[in-house]
Chains A and B, each alone.
Chain A
Amino acid sequence: MTSMYAILAVILFTIGLIGFLIRRNALVIFMCVELMLNAANLLFVAFSSHYGILDGQMAAFFVMVVAAAEVVIGLSIIVMISRARRSTSVDDEILLKG
């Protein structure tokens, strides 16, 4: 049963990674990051129940809290950018080039 969860987690993570690398919309990229985080969470919880140790669930809670905080900051940044540029595409302008 645990292997199924693991396979599902790998699939989710891969979808997230590929989406992160190929999509242009900042919101979608952001969702892909969340997807990767949740794939990791899924693995944590699955192994936790497999071994009967609570450490993995603890880690999952931490990840959720951190992800929630990150979402707040990340989304607000995206909102600000979209207001300023009328676009959320990361390729419109090379934002990180000095």
Chain B
Amino acid sequence: MLEVYTSIANTGLFPYAWLMVVIPAAVAGLLLICGKVTNSFGHFIATLAPIASFTFAVIYFVELLGYPEMERAVNLDFYTWIAAGSWQIDIGMLIDPLSILFVLLITGVGSIIHIYSIGYMAHDPNRRRFFAYLNLFIAAMLILVLANNYLVLFIGWEGVGLASYLLISFWQERPSAAAAGKKAFVMNRVGDLGLLMAAFTMLAMFSSTSFADVHAGAPSLSVGWATFIGFMLLLAACGKSAQVPLQAWLLDAMEGPTPVSALIHAATMVTAGVYLVVRAGVIFEQAPAAQLAVAIVGTVTLLVGAWIGCSKDDIKKVLAGSTMSQIGYMMLAAGIGPAGYAFAIFHLLTHGFFKANMFLGAGSVMHGMNDDVNMRHYGALRKLMPITFITFGIGYLAIIGFPFFAGFYSKDHIIEAAFHAQPALGVLALIGAGVTAFYMTRLMIMTFTSSSRWRKEVHPHESPAVMWIPLVLLAIGSLIGGMVLNGWIGSWLSSIGAETPEHMTWLPEITVIGGITFAVVVLGAVLAWLVFGRKPVPDEAPEKVSIFTTIGRNDLFGDAVNDYLVVKPASLLSRGVALTDEKGIDPATEGTGWLVQAIGDKVRLIQNGYVRTYGLTLAIGVVLIGLALVLSRLV
């Protein structure tokens, strides 16, 4: 099914949509340029910026609601960016059901996280810089989702990569944070290559990269080219969304401040890959191989992420593994095709709520535990941090898919759709759901229940209101998000090509697969309680563990694989090039110089300064020229 662009006239407040992007960008610029002058109030204006964008987004959302289903799209072209030959690329925006949902998520969750950060970063000397980067991120992410062509999307894509880099290595005095930022940046470049290749191919095929032209031309595209574009887009999505094989950067990205992990590395930026796949849905429908690859990558990642989540003791890394895993679910849904698009976006939205909720909860715990992230040093925090515990608990129930919580609706849909499309993928997704319940229960037990294992100098306490109010807001989202969206999102997204069953309401339909899923989830949770809940948690990580735990602790040897497949060959190549330069090119150039000098040394002896010698040379020259003239006459 094609995206329909009978767009609404560009009237009313729509021409001011650029303000959504410009406000946070301007605030970011202001904070960075004005420097220390804005130290005292910078975080307040930086928090107001996403709230302003959110207000705009709500207005546009309501306005879109007022139009018939198939007309909800506003295309805004601001100016021509590149005009060359038959190519014309405009800087423009597309406000349609898909992008407005993203804008609401980004600015909504973004605003909440900004508020939380005021408290979380209160004692950081560089809080102003932190807020400037956060606003930069919001602006770039909005460009990414609001772009109306793939090249403008790429600007946002790079912008969020930059903001992510700056924020991961925000505590740049820590070598590990600096290295993590670099790693994320470099690995993201690999994905960016895919997006660029896809955009160039589209330019060659359709003479345009705008969504409208690409989607109009896609059905007549040959399968070969569609498959190529599809795989390139998948590569881009893998880089940005930390999917296997480009997953290794996300776990290290947890070096950044926790609000960053919540906003960028859980709720918004890492879901950009899912957005890309859904947005380019028509291309993938032309290329079944690429589509299947998306589903397989998603399935593999959801299992890999869950595996890693089971074996980590660092609370943020458990959540990072779980993020990979949940995005794997979204990719799986996106790879199913039109039947899965709405569920991918649905899960993306609910995940945005509950994962941001849990990351901020983890931040709240760390705040009370002197920034210790090791869960083996936690325990029994539920009494001392009641609000954090309850909100985290709601997030926990949402992610494992407990009935009527947000994740229950979205994840069950994905598993069910996977069973219908490809039973093997469905079974794996089902196993993933069980493992999710297992590791999340382990996290809850180690953090909030069991006995206290705090270090001596730590005095756990509840966080201030500026931090727990955002937690409550997000917990409400995790609680009711699924129920509210379930009956509505399918029809809302139908104009971007999603095909969903008609009968979805807030009351979940009872199916066999749904029942099995619930049983598997309960099994996972009970198993975790049997393993970790009955005996005290060891203070130190056990040395003798099964091979599975060892593999999980080492991130499935993702770094080692990268090392052997990419880093070692690349450094070997560069060493070879350096050697060629040193032993081949250097002697060649230096030899040339040496030769010229040696010849000069001999030749300069001719210039002895005697007038007579010059006269003789002249005379001989004249004689030779004369001889030559005479001989040429004779011949």
Contact = CB atoms under 8 A, between A and B. Distances in A.
Interface in A39-76: none
Contact of A21 (B607, B608, B619): B619
Contacts of B614: 96
A98 B612 CA distance: 16
A21 B618 CA distance: 11
A94 B612 CA distance: 11
A94 B616 contact: no
B41 interface: no
Interface string A79-98: 00000000000110011111
B603 to A, nearest CB: 15
A20 B610 contact: no
B615 interface: yes
A12 interface: no
Contact of B608 (A17, A29, A94): A94
Contacts of A98: 609
A87 to B, nearest CB: 14
A90 B609 contact: no
Contacts of B615: 20-21
Interface in B578-615: 607-612, 614-615
A96 B611 CA distance: 7
Nearest to A29: B611
Nearest to B616: A21
A90 B608 contact: no
B619 A90 contact: no
Interface residues of A, number: 12
Contacts of B610: 90-91, 94, 96
Nearest to B610: A94
Interface residues of B, number: 10
Contact of A95 (B607, B609, B616, B619): B609
A95 B613 CA distance: 12
A21 to B, nearest CB: 6
B380 to A, nearest CB: 93
Nearest to A23: B612
Nearest to B607: A97
Which one of A22, A96, A97 has the highest number of Cβ atoms from chain B below 10 Å of its Cβ?
A96
B619 A94 contact: no
A21 B616 CA distance: 7
Which one of A21, A22, A90, A91 has the highest number of Cβ atoms from chain B below 10 Å of its Cβ?
A21
A96 B616 contact: no
Nearest to B609: A97
A49 B614 CA distance: 35
A28 B36 CA distance: 87
A51 to B, nearest CB: 19
Contacts of A91: 610, 612
Interface in A12-41: 17, 20-22, 29
B611 A97 contact: no
B616 to A, nearest CB: 6
A90 B609 CA distance: 10
A21 B609 contact: no
A2 B610 CA distance: 38
A20 B608 CA distance: 17
Contacts of B609: 94-98
A80 to B, nearest CB: 16
A22 B611 CA distance: 11
B601 to A, nearest CB: 16
Contacts of A97: 607-609
Which one of B608, B611, B614, B619 has the highest number of Cβ atoms from chain A below 10 Å of its Cβ?
B611
A29 B615 CA distance: 11
A90 B615 CA distance: 12
A21 B611 CA distance: 9
A96 B614 CA distance: 10
A14 B611 CA distance: 18
A94 B619 CA distance: 20
A97 B607 CA distance: 8
Contacts of A21: 612, 615-616, 619
Contacts of A20: 615
A20 B619 CA distance: 10
Contacts of B607: 97
A29 B611 CA distance: 10
Contacts of B608: 94, 97
A62 B607 CA distance: 33
A22 B609 CA distance: 15
A64 B570 CA distance: 79
A94 B611 CA distance: 8
Nearest to B623: A17
B600 to A, nearest CB: 14
Nearest to A97: B609
A94 B614 CA distance: 12
A40 B468 CA distance: 112
A95 B607 CA distance: 12
A20 B607 CA distance: 18
A26 to B, nearest CB: 8
Contacts of B616: 21
A17 B619 contact: yes
Interface string B512-555: 00000000000000000000000000000000000000000000
A36 to B, nearest CB: 10
A41 B533 CA distance: 124
Interface in B608-634: 608-612, 614-616, 619
Interface in B474-504: none
A95 B610 CA distance: 7
Nearest to A20: B615
Contacts of A29: 611
B460 to A, nearest CB: 87
B234 to A, nearest CB: 72
Given A94-B610, A96-B614, A97-B607, 20 more contacts: A20-B615, A21-B612, A21-B615, A21-B616, A21-B619, A22-B612, A29-B611, A90-B610, A90-B611, A90-B612, A91-B610, A91-B612, A94-B609, A95-B609, A95-B611, A96-B610, A96-B611, A97-B608, A97-B609, A98-B609
Query: Which 4 residue pairs spanning A and B have beta carbons closest together?
Result: A97-B609, A94-B609, A96-B609, A90-B611
5 contacts: A17-B619, A20-B615, A90-B610, A95-B611, A98-B609
